[in-house]
Structure 1
Amino acid sequence: MKKKINILRAGGGTGGHTFPIKSMIQYLDKYHKEQVGDHFWAGSRRSLEEKTVSDLQKQMKNLTFLPLLSGKWRREKGLEAFLKNIWDLFKFTIGILQSLVYLLRFRIDVVFCKGGYVALPVVVAAWILRKKILVHESDTRAGLVNRIASNFSSHNFVAFPEVLKDGIIVGQILSEDLIPEKKLVKKTENTQVLVMGGSQGAKTIYESLLTLLNTEEKLRELNFVVVLGQLNQDLKAQFLSFQNVEVKDFCTQKEIGMLYETSDLVITRAGTTSLAEQDLFGIKMIMIPIPWTHDQKNNALWYVEQKKGILIDQEDPDFMEKLKTILIEHIDWHKDLKIVDHLGIISQGKEKISKILLELK
């Protein structure tokens, strides 16, 4: 009997790292179950990745979460940043030792790195033991961990050209959970605007929208669905005071897929996974990149050039006025309701990765 492959995923910290790993695990379990032995996921304690594994374990018995210490390198100057870097260097070293134990104990064949600081100790340990390493980079500009990992990997997968050396273009890793089980229709004929600025650092977007709703009566002609996140709950009552606003605290991927299906416009940050999901459903994107990262601005610029998305700089003095103008200009804008093979598009990249991964035994 042919030996089954044991796979260790490394990555997490944000949804952009976590949900693609989840999607790859589900895909392999559904379509290549007979070729995979055990699934492992190395990540931080009390993290999004640990919660995601806990949820997946309700359907999968061969998935194990491996807690790992890791550190973050800070580029700021000063004594505080220096001391934190020293402490995190110690944690990083412990993380490498933990990873060596995991790789040997569980007889890991392949490491799949998605990025995030927690992935780097695993990559270093895998290189020491000469294990096969695969890297997937979602952004138009590779993150530090994936740039390092790509030097040790056997294959680098990318969503955009010329991001990593010898990158194989597979697009974004998206979840089948996004695809609604049946065709959905909007509750009204009005244009529906989905607002999902995220939780951390998104208050400016939500507060600006509240100001516009209070001062610009024409915006009452739009229907808004606002996904607030856990850190913006203090704004919930204000949003609910408007009859044309529906509020969601948090959405699963299934729920997000249903909102994508019925939305025409989206006000969003510019993480590439979210942008790819929105593009898949034909939504017009109004992108407001996080100001303190160049990655999101680069991502947004690509979608402006290739997909006719709209980019607004949050730090522009005329930010609120520009947002108002764009919304008013799109009051009667409705997306094209053409039939799209969502499953086929989502599966292409994952199957390409799976084929290469399963041949590495």
Structure 2
Amino acid sequence: MRVIITGGGTGGHVYPALAIARGLKEARPGVELLYIGTARGLEADVVPRAGLTLATITVQGLVRRQVWKNIPALVKTGRGLGESWQQVRRFRPDVVVGTGGYVSGPVCLAAALQGVPVILHEQNAFPGVTNRLLAILARCVCLTFPEAASRFPRRAKLVTTGLPVRPEIIQADRDSCRQHFGLRPEQLFLVTVGGSQGARSINGAMLPILKELAGCQDVSLLQVTGRRDYEAYLQQVRTQGIDLAKYGNITIEPYVYNLEQALAAADLVIGRAGASFLAEVLARGLPSVLVPYPHAAANHQEYNARAVARQGAAVVVLDRELKGGRLYQVVFELLRSREKLKAMAAAAASLGRPGALEAIIQVILKTVESG
């Protein structure tokens, strides 16, 4: 079996693609995989590290509000379509799997024009432009959020599978992870993550929360600031009179490599509403306070957050509300009500799809078997 996987630009497109690649290797040990991306996106770094062959094409995203700037992008996309055609023709795949991002457009189009079956995966509640345009050419579109279905063409074949989550997220043992962080059985553990680069606005809004929780015996807190703002934030913490050495219940880190341990140990999570992070939070059955990134394409993070909040698993705090103290208000309302946290956790667990990867792999395998 030969499979081309394509998707790029950001982790939201690349990491699901890598999870699918890993799932295919486990399901079909002899599978031959080719990843097609760009030379500048995240995939250029992480795909070779994952042991996959990477082929790159020339492509550039469109500028939504400045149409006149799109002429060079259209020229590059045309060139990328030609390069994609050659890659598909040379590799002769049984199926092409696209996870979104502008690089997947020419690759999936070239495959469909050559009669190769195309499978798409859409991560967000508000689907990206590329996947919406490609949907009518695809054999199937795998959705993370059922809410996304209304934004696809009626003739598109859709199935809700969820988003692939790293096995270590699901397999992490809560008791041993809580021991790792030195937590007592009755102690609540609050984890704040602003994404791999951190989130300056969330960090700033956390300062009064840190001040209130400093020395609290009932709550322990881990805040991940991002490397960019770590040192400056520590200075802000000191300015607030918070002595981290004195108050052992607060830990501030620039980055954590063992996020799966932190999530397994957590009782409440504060973070952005990217699809991959949300899938991990829901797979763990965690209550969350979601602060959507306000500049995400088509505001898709707010759509993601609202979809989860409607089911009772999260509370949404908009980025513009952070300066008004709403995060402080929401966090302490939740920390004071363990019954509320328990209800939110149950709602999150009902939304989590730990079997998402297996469902997507089955779609791919059935497509190949049906020709």
What band does the TM-score fall into relative to the shorter chain?
Answer: 0.7 to 0.9
Is the 8 Å Cα contact of residues 179 and 258 (structure 1) preserved in structure 2? no
Q: Separation in 2 of the partners of 1:236 and 1:168?
A: 44
Give the partner amino acid of 2:317: I
**What is the aligned partner in structure 2 of residue 359 from structure 1?**
369
**What is the aligned partner in structure 1 of residue 100 from structure 2?**
115
**What is the aligned partner in structure 2 of residue 39 from structure 1?**
33
Instruction: Report matched runs for 1:278-357 at 5 Å.
Output: 278-293=281-296, 294-316=299-321, 319-331=323-335, 345-357=355-367
Is the 8 Å Cα contact of residues 20 and 175 (structure 1) preserved in structure 2? no
| Alpha carbons of structure 1 residues 322 and 258: separation in structure 2 relative to 1, 3 Å | same
| Alpha carbons of structure 1 residues 130 and 280: separation in structure 2 relative to 1, 3 Å | same
Residue 72 (structure 1) aligned with residue 61 (structure 2):
yes
Q: Separation in 2 of the partners of 1:51 and 1:145?
A: 23
Per the alignment, in what secondary structure is the counterpart of residue 22 of structure 2? helix
Per the alignment, in what secondary structure is the counterpart of residue 41 of structure 1? strand
**What is the aligned partner in structure 2 of residue 60 from structure 1?**
none
Shift of 1:286: 0.1
Instruction: Report matched runs for 1:53-202 at 5 Å.
Output: 53-57=47-51, 63-77=52-66, 82-83=68-69, 85-161=70-146, 162-163=149-150, 164=152, 165-180=156-171, 182-183=173-174, 184-186=176-178, 187-189=182-184, 190-199=187-196, 202=199
Shift of 1:343: 9.6
Q: Deviations over 1:316-353 (max 9, x none)?
A: 3x654211112222335666699x99996355423433
| Alpha carbons of structure 1 residues 306 and 344: separation in structure 2 relative to 1, 3 Å | closer
Q: Separation in 1 of the partners of 2:213 and 2:98?
A: 48
Q: Separation in 1 of the partners of 2:354 and 2:61?
A: 37
Q: Separation in 2 of the partners of 1:344 and 1:208?
A: 32
Q: Separation in 2 of the partners of 1:251 and 1:8?
A: 32
| Alpha carbons of structure 1 residues 31 and 279: separation in structure 2 relative to 1, 3 Å | same
Residue 277 (structure 1) aligned with residue 280 (structure 2):
yes
Shift of 1:52: 2.0
| Alpha carbons of structure 1 residues 181 and 324: separation in structure 2 relative to 1, 3 Å | closer
Residue 209 (structure 1) aligned with residue 206 (structure 2):
yes
Gaps of 5+ in 2: none
Q: Separation in 2 of the partners of 1:185 and 1:246?
A: 15
Is the 8 Å Cα contact of residues 161 and 353 (structure 2) preserved in structure 1? no
Q: Separation in 2 of the partners of 1:264 and 1:157?
A: 30
Shift of 1:237: 3.0
| Alpha carbons of structure 1 residues 158 and 49: separation in structure 2 relative to 1, 3 Å | same
Is the 8 Å Cα contact of residues 138 and 272 (structure 1) preserved in structure 2? yes
| Alpha carbons of structure 1 residues 235 and 357: separation in structure 2 relative to 1, 3 Å | farther
Shift of 1:116: 0.7
Residue from 264, 269, 273 that aligns with 1:266:
269
Q: Deviations over 1:269-313 (max 9, x none)?
A: 112221121011121110111123421111111111113310111
Is the 8 Å Cα contact of residues 157 and 168 (structure 1) preserved in structure 2? yes
Shift of 1:32: 1.9
Please say which of residues 159-168 and 48-57 is displaced more in the overlay: 159-168
Give the partner amino acid of 2:42: L
Q: Deviations over 1:108-154 (max 9, x none)?
A: 22110110111112122223322211111121121101001112111
| Alpha carbons of structure 1 residues 332 and 198: separation in structure 2 relative to 1, 3 Å | same
Shift of 1:232: 2.8
RMSD between aligned residues: 2.8
| Alpha carbons of structure 1 residues 344 and 188: separation in structure 2 relative to 1, 3 Å | closer
Q: Separation in 1 of the partners of 2:192 and 2:109?
A: 39
Give the partner amino acid of 1:66: A
Q: Separation in 2 of the partners of 1:235 and 1:68?
A: 39
Q: Separation in 2 of the partners of 1:327 and 1:212?
A: 8
Is the 8 Å Cα contact of residues 7 and 101 (structure 2) preserved in structure 1? yes
| Alpha carbons of structure 1 residues 248 and 32: separation in structure 2 relative to 1, 3 Å | farther
Is the 8 Å Cα contact of residues 23 and 176 (structure 1) preserved in structure 2? no
Q: Separation in 1 of the partners of 2:37 and 2:329?
A: 43
Instruction: Report matched runs for 1:11-50 at 5 Å.
Output: 11-34=7-30, 36=31, 38-50=32-44
Q: Separation in 2 of the partners of 1:66 and 1:104?
A: 13
Shift of 1:219: 8.2
Per the alignment, in what secondary structure is the counterpart of residue 292 of structure 1? coil
| Alpha carbons of structure 1 residues 245 and 13: separation in structure 2 relative to 1, 3 Å | farther
